[in-house]
Amino acid sequence: MSSYFSTVPPFRRTLFSTLALGTLMLAGCGGSSDSPGFLPLPPPPVAVAPAPPAPAPVPGPTARWTIGDLHIHTMQSDDTQQISTLDQVLALAFDRFGLDWAALSDHLRPSKYDNNGNEIAPGPIPLSLGLAKYQVPRIKALQASGKYADKTIFSSFEWDMPSHDHGNVGLLTDDPMSASALKAANRFEYLFTNRAASDFAPEDVAAWGPKAGTGYNTHAETMAAIAWLKKNYPDTSYLQINHPSRNPGSYTIDQLREMNDLAPNIVFSLEGMVGNQMEPDRGGYAKGTADPSTNPLRTHGGVDYLVAKLGGTWDALLSEGRHIWNVADSDYHFTTSKGLYSSGYAPGEYAKNHLWGDIKDPKSLLAAMRSGKLFAVNGDLINALDFKVQGAKGAGEMGADVAAKTGEDLTITIRFKSPERNNFEYQLGSGVFANVKPVVDHIDLIAGDVTGLEKPGTPGYSRATNPSTRVVKRFTRNDWKLDATATSQ
């Protein structure tokens, strides 16, 4: 479907929908043109050497839509209830639910167990050592044997951010999953957690110097870690803010702005569509009252208040032109345990990130994430989306900035498709799908003014709302039509 509307000052817009599109992205593609040539008259025959073989054609771009999960736990996280081995978690993600990529993100805490749930003797070790000793070698062995050879898998970790909540840290380095990458994770754990220096190799402690924090309970210590990532791994690391409103006072918008200002290439991902959706309070958001209209400590349709609130925190950040993308993750620990506890759906079962890119390895995955051409979905409401804006001087897609003059008409084209069924089971864990076909009820096209970055020390730096945010148009099935591929537009 195409919709036309006129912009109003200021000139720049950020457009996003309640399907968690993020912002628009300007997609660039390479191209070439061949000029016509003229063949001269053939010369008299002469003896010539055989012509060298023609060079092999250069393969073209291989970008495509992929699906994945950035927040998955294994038995190396103590709170997994010892349900799924590493091999079982990978089988769920890739064999059963068909993901293309996954980031394992166990808690950056002392690890008691190996990949299979066996207790480590003589006792707990830093997670970074557990990754080096157990998790990474097993992933490499599986892929070397041909299992998951076409999948992108890497080990990140979920860090207890001083004075805040959890953040996923991916330390890829120039050689992801290598000895140097694992040593970088080991150094991060030494510097930015309360692990004792005696838990690390003496020669490393001597080389690394004193630990970076004291109580590991201040925002300044979190900022020091981000500064360390920026200094040492500016292009090969990231910090994702997980379930931001699960606990009271985890973040102020000033602090979120400070993190993004310090390292916009590293702090750009917000887990607004939180995991652990099988918990009674959908993601463990159990604080405060249950009034869905006002309570920022509850999820709203399974979405964190920072993202769900129209004109709220995420909209305020987008109104500055910040490239901060929303994602949906499983935060998988276990599904049910002992008949007493429930946690989250398996990787790819309920939450998916659909990401566009030429993704071959963790570094290309990170580059694709930064570009912002992605959409996050729960329950497979849709499995395809195309979102474009056409102006007088250019066009853009998800993740991009598009400039337009006051009063200029913009053409917005939205195409989407739902799968024939989602993964809802007739009985949980039965493996028998109920063949429920997701149905989109409506699409909201939301717009808000983009006014530029707020400056530290000004009242605007504490502005947690964007009052200009509004629903420009609500589209229902009466507005869209099906094309030849059964895609709605």
State the pLDDT at residue 54. 56
Distance set, CA 100 to CA 96, 148, 347, 383 (Å): 12, 9, 11, 14
Provide the Cα torsion 311, 250, 79, 104; round to 10°: 60
Of 21, 89, 85, 167, give the one whose Cα is nearest residue 344. Answer: 89
The Cα–Cα gap between 140 and 154 comes to: 10
Burial of 32 (0-12, 13-18, 19+ CB in 10 A): exposed
State the pLDDT at residue 267. 98
Task: Evaluate whether 200 touches 190 at the Cβ level (below 8 Å).
Answer: yes
pLDDT per residue as tens, the chain (489 positions): 333 222 322 323 333 333 334 333 222 233 333 333 322 333 444 444 555 555 655 555 689 999 999 999 999 999 998 888 999 999 999 999 999 999 999 999 999 999 999 999 999 999 999 999 999 999 999 999 999 999 999 999 999 999 999 999 999 999 999 999 999 999 999 999 999 999 999 999 999 999 998 899 999 999 999 999 999 999 999 999 999 999 999 999 999 999 999 999 999 999 999 999 998 889 989 886 656 566 888 899 999 999 999 999 999 999 999 999 999 999 999 998 877 788 889 999 999 999 999 999 999 999 999 999 999 999 999 999 999 999 998 999 999 998 888 889 999 999 999 999 999 988 877 888 999 999 999 999 999 999 999 999 999 999 999 999 999 999 999 999 988 776 777
The Cα–Cα gap between 416 and 253 comes to: 33
State the pLDDT at residue 52. 56
The Cα–Cα gap between 222 and 163 comes to: 8
Which position has the token pair 């729960």? 378
State the pLDDT at residue 485. 77
The Cα–Cα gap between 339 and 105 comes to: 25
DSSP sequence for 405-455: -TT-EEEEEEEEE--S--S-BSSTTS--B--PPP---EEEEEEEE---PPP
Task: Evaluate whether 102 touches 135 at the Cβ level (below 8 Å).
Answer: no
Taking the CA of residue 14 as centre, how many other CA atoms within 13 Å lie in the half-sphere pointing to its CB? 27
Residue 53 makes CB contacts below 8 A (sequence gap 6+) with none
- CA-based angle 293:295:298, to the nearest 5? 105
State the pLDDT at residue 61. 65
Rounded to the nearest angstrom, the gap between the alpha carbon of residue 305 and the centroid of all alpha carbons in its chain is 18
Provide the Cα torsion 319, 447, 265, 159; round to 10°: 90
Taking the CA of residue 209 as centre, how many other CA atoms within 13 Å lie in the half-sphere pointing to its CB? 2
Neighbours of 398 (CB within 10 A): 26
Q: What is the pTM of this model?
A: 0.87
Indicate the residue type of 442.
Answer: H
State the pLDDT at residue 18. 30
The DSSP bridge pattern shows strands 110-111 and 125-126 to be antiparallel
Task: Evaluate whether 128 touches 157 at the Cβ level (below 8 Å).
Answer: yes
Question: Token pair of 398, please?
Answer: 């998800």
The Cα–Cα gap between 251 and 167 comes to: 12
State the pLDDT at residue 183. 98
The Cα–Cα gap between 315 and 330 comes to: 24
Of 424, 433, 396, give the one whose Cα is nearest residue 412. Answer: 396
Domains within the chain, CATH numbers bracketed = 62-386 (3.20.20.140)
Indicate the residue type of 337.
Answer: S
The Cα–Cα gap between 9 and 451 comes to: 9
State the pLDDT at residue 247. 92
**Phi, psi torsion values for 256, nearest 5 degrees:** -65, -40
Burial of 350 (0-12, 13-18, 19+ CB in 10 A): buried
State the pLDDT at residue 463. 97
Question: Token pair of 378, please?
Answer: 């729960």
Residue 235, helix vs strand vs coil: coil
The Cα–Cα gap between 179 and 175 comes to: 9
Residue 282, helix vs strand vs coil: coil
Q: How many residues does the chain have?
A: 489
State the pLDDT at residue 213. 87
